[in-house]
Amino acid sequence: MLILPQTLLPGAISAVERLREAVASASFEYDGGALPQVTVSLGLVELERSADSLELIARADDALYAAKQSGRNRTEWPGRDR
């Protein structure tokens, strides 16, 4: 979980996309051998004052699974135009 305080949705999208791209372009090794490309899928939500922490985590988890179902190596958030 990554929390970006005082960050509006456009700034958060930019930050997590940079993170996603950095992971996808990195090389990783294990036990002396190169691993295949590693990617991440991310679910992003904006804090709603009326939501408690469990609800916020559940919404982020839903967005994460939407990213995985949409092809992986991507970021999804509620209201994103696909």
For 18-75, what is each residue's pLDDT tens digit? 999 999 999 999 999 999 999 999 999 998 888 899 999 999 999 999 999 999 999 9
**Residues 7-12: contacts with CB under 8 Å, at least 24 apart:** 8/46, 9/44, 9/46, 9/77, 12/44, 12/46
Closest among 9, 6, 82, 70 to 45, alpha carbons compared? 9
Q: Is residue 82 included in any domain, yes or no?
A: no
Q: Is residue 2 included in any domain, yes or no?
A: no
Q: Is residue 14 included in any domain, yes or no?
A: yes
Q: Is residue 63 included in any domain, yes or no?
A: yes
Q: Is residue 23 included in any domain, yes or no?
A: yes
pTM, 2 dp: 0.83
